[in-house]
């Protein structure tokens, strides 16, 4: 997705985990557990279809506009992803790729479509959030 903001401003928006519950559908709570110079460990409490699950990821930052997501704990057998932010001089291209496999068939039948829907809508949620909170000063 192309947005009229800098990669730095958009990456900061994605790193503002404590605010996810304000705009990410299905997110009941969100908080940073640990933060370093080039990483964030974050917990999200996601709710859907009468089930609430907690997901903890480590989000490693790189200098080239990439955030690599890896599973710390949650209802997943595997989970990994990557945000990418590419400055274009007159805006930024934002991308998100996530793959996951849930631990059990029961959780998969209940939450598989829900997690898929959240992930599919994340870039749109962040795009709307950027338009709501970023200013012209956050543009290239």
Site of tokens 């903890």: 56
The average pLDDT across 36-55 equals 88
The residue ranges of DSSP E strands in the chain, in sequence order, are 2-3, 27-35, 39-48, 51-61, 66-73, 76-87, 92-102
Separation of alpha carbons 38 and 29, rounded Å: 23
Are 77 and 105 in contact, with CB atoms under 8 Å apart?
no
Q: What pLDDT, on a 0 to 100 scale, did the predictor assign at position 47?
A: 82
What end-to-end distance do the CA atoms of the chain give, in Å? Answer: 16
Nearest Cα to 118, choosing from 20, 40, 38? 20
Q: What pLDDT, on a 0 to 100 scale, did the predictor assign at position 14?
A: 93
Q: What pLDDT, on a 0 to 100 scale, did the predictor assign at position 104?
A: 76
Q: Is the pLDDT of residue 49 over 80?
A: no
State residue 134 phi and psi, 5-degree precision.
-85, 155
Q: What pLDDT, on a 0 to 100 scale, did the predictor assign at position 4?
A: 94
- The domains located in the chain, with CATH, are 2-134 (3.30.530.20)
Confidence bin at 120 (pLDDT 50/70/90) = confident
Q: What pLDDT, on a 0 to 100 scale, did the predictor assign at position 115?
A: 76
Q: What is the pLDDT of residues 58-103, one digit of tens each?
A: 999 988 899 999 999 998 888 999 999 999 988 999 999 998 888 8
Q: What is the pLDDT of residues 15-45, one digit of tens each?
A: 999 999 999 988 999 999 999 999 999 999 9
């Amino acid at each position: 997705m192309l947005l009229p903001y800098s990669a730095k401003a958009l990456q900061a928006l994605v790193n503002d985990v404590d605010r996810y519950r304000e705009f990410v559908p299905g997110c009941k709570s969100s908080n940073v557990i640990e933060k370093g110079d080039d990483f964030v460990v974050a917990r999200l409490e996601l709710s859907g279809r009468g089930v609430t699950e907690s997901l903890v990821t480590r989000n490693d930052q790189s200098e080239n506009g990439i955030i690599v997501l890896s599973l710390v704990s949650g209802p997943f057998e595997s989970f990994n992803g990557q945000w990418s932010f590419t400055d274009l001089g007159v805006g930024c291209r934002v991308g998100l790729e996530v793959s996951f496999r849930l631990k059990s068939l029961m959780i998969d039948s209940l939450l598989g479509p829900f997690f898929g829907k959240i992930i599919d809508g994340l870039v749109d949620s962040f795009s709307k959030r950027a338009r709501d909170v970023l200013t012209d000063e956050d543009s290239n």
